[in-house]
Amino acid sequence: MVFHKTHGMNQPLFSMRTLYVSRTPADSSVYPTISAALDAIPMDLNEPACIYLAPGIYHEKITINKPYLTILGTGKSNKDVVLTYDDYALAPMADIGKLGTFRSYSVFIDTHDVTLQNLTIENASGDSLTHGQAIALYADGDRLVIDSCRLIGHQDTLFTGPLPPKEIEPDGFIGPKQFAPRINGRQYYKNCYICGDIDFIFGSATAYFKNCELYALNRNEKINSYYTAPSTYSNQKYGYVFDHCRLTGNCPDRTVMLSRPWRIYAKAVFLNCEMSGQITETGFSDWNKEESHDTCYYAEYNCYGEGYVPQKRPPYVHQLTEAEAEEYTMEKVLNAPVYPAEP
């Protein structure tokens, strides 16, 4: 069991509500869109539900706001069921002139206790130089599990909400959670493939990544990609933990960085990870936030590959002992308490 409190329910398995979705429904019992199936689940449903997705491409902008829900792709691989949309931050909008990052998502999870399995979530808008930020999955909730999924995009592919406490620019957080309370959540990513270029895993959640591949895309720039940009809250013990992950891509050598702090209390720990030669020797950037040297927490343990050069890392990056690494087990991280953001 990943979380000690998974569903908070005692219903037997046979009470689970099941729904089926297909792009070519055979009869009225099968929903033609994922959104239609979600709408059919009552907000006050007091039992788990599972939506089974037939293979196909589902071009729709999806909001998941029903808890205790599993959405399962039924294809032979996670490439057979694709949830895709193509919004992007620089798209023109009447209110502030552009859509903005946090309205660009393809799929938005806005609840707790959700599992996604064996599918692809894609933002198909295109390269970041032309379109800016474009979120594939906006995940904001506690006890979320993303299992054997592909998350495909360019800049800001995966946002692990909640938002930081404060905006840097006016309307920088415009979107569905701009004025919502900031309450941290725990998220688990298992056997996933996550693809992007700039800060393509970012946000404030406590998130554990196990056996995932992070794939950095070439932009033909001096620095092509940053795998992560955490904005961990100051009162959270854990931020991002990557365990037995592979950090790969199609970039030239020494043009990708592991992380930079979106906010100064950023936390990211890399355990037993394979690091390709495209990663710079320094590995980490302070994003011109010198004060973060005393407040962020970056660490590595037992990593390997041409991109793992511990002697060249900045002084604020920790090389953990075996005993210190024991504090970052999946059980400890995903069952740590969560708190509202400190102001």
DSSP lists the bridge partners of residue 139 as: 109, 160
Question: Domain for residue 253, yes or no?
Answer: yes
Confidence at residue 15, expressed as pLDDT on a 0 to 100 scale: 65
Contacts of 176 (CB under 8 A, 6+ apart): 63, 102, 103, 108, 110
Q: Determine, yes or no, domain membership for 8.
A: no
- Domain ranges, residue 203: 15-334
Q: Decide if 61 is inside a domain.
A: yes
Q: Residue 225 pLDDT > 70, yes or no? A: yes
Contacts of 17 (CB under 8 A, 6+ apart): 41, 45, 47, 48, 49, 50
When the pLDDT of each residue in the chain is averaged and rounded to a whole number, the result is 94
Residue 275 has pLDDT above 70, yes or no: yes
Q: Using one digit for the tens of pLDDT, what is the confidence trace for 292-328? A: 999 999 999 999 999 999 999 999 999 999 999 999 9
pLDDT at 14: 47
Kindly state the average pLDDT of the residues 91-97: 93
User: φ, ψ for residue 79 (rounded to 5)?
Assistant: -90, -10
From residue 313, alpha-carbon distances to 92, 286, 294, 308 in Å are 41, 12, 15, 9
Tokens of 144: 């979320």
Beta-carbon contacts of residue 72 (< 8 Å; ≥ 6 apart):
50, 51, 52, 53, 117, 118, 119
Q: Is residue 214 part of a domain?
A: yes
Of the candidates 207, 180, 213, the one whose C-alpha atom is nearest the C-alpha of residue 194 is: 213
**Which of 81, 68, 80 lies closest to 107, judged by CA?**
81
Q: Assess whether pLDDT exceeds 70 at residue 24.
A: yes
Give the span between the Cα atoms of 190 and 187, in whole angstroms.
Answer: 10
**Count of Cβ atoms closer than 10 Å to residue 234 Cβ:** 11
Q: What is the pLDDT of residue 302?
A: 98
In the chain, the percentage of residues whose pLDDT exceeds 70 is 95
Model pLDDT, residue 322 = 98
Q: Which pLDDT value is given to residue 341? A: 76
Structurally, the chain folds into a number of domains equal to 1
On the question of pLDDT at 269 being above 80, the answer is yes
Has residue 343 been placed in a domain? no
- Angle among Cα 313, 194, 102 to the nearest 5 degrees reads 95
Distances (CA, A) of 54 to 13, 71, 106, 107, 132: 22, 11, 19, 18, 32
In a domain, 10, yes or no: no
Cβ distance 160 to 135 under 8 Å? no
CA distance 269 to 166: 24
Contact 52, 85 (CB under 8 A): no
Q: 36-80: per-residue pLDDT in tens?
A: 999 999 988 888 999 999 999 999 999 999 999 999 999 999 999
In a domain, 311, yes or no: yes
Tell me, what's the pLDDT at 4?
A: 53
What are the residues facing 189 on neighbouring strands?
146, 209
% of the chain exceeding 90 in pLDDT: 90
d(CA 294, CA 13) in angstroms, rounded, equals 49
More confident residue, 36 or 26: 36
CATH code assigned at 142: 2.160.20.10
CA 140/CA 182 separation, integer angstroms: 10
In a domain, 200, yes or no: yes
Tokens matching residue 335: 């069952």
- Condensed to tens digits (0 to 9), the pLDDT of residues 131-165 reads 999 999 999 999 999 999 999 999 999 999 999 99
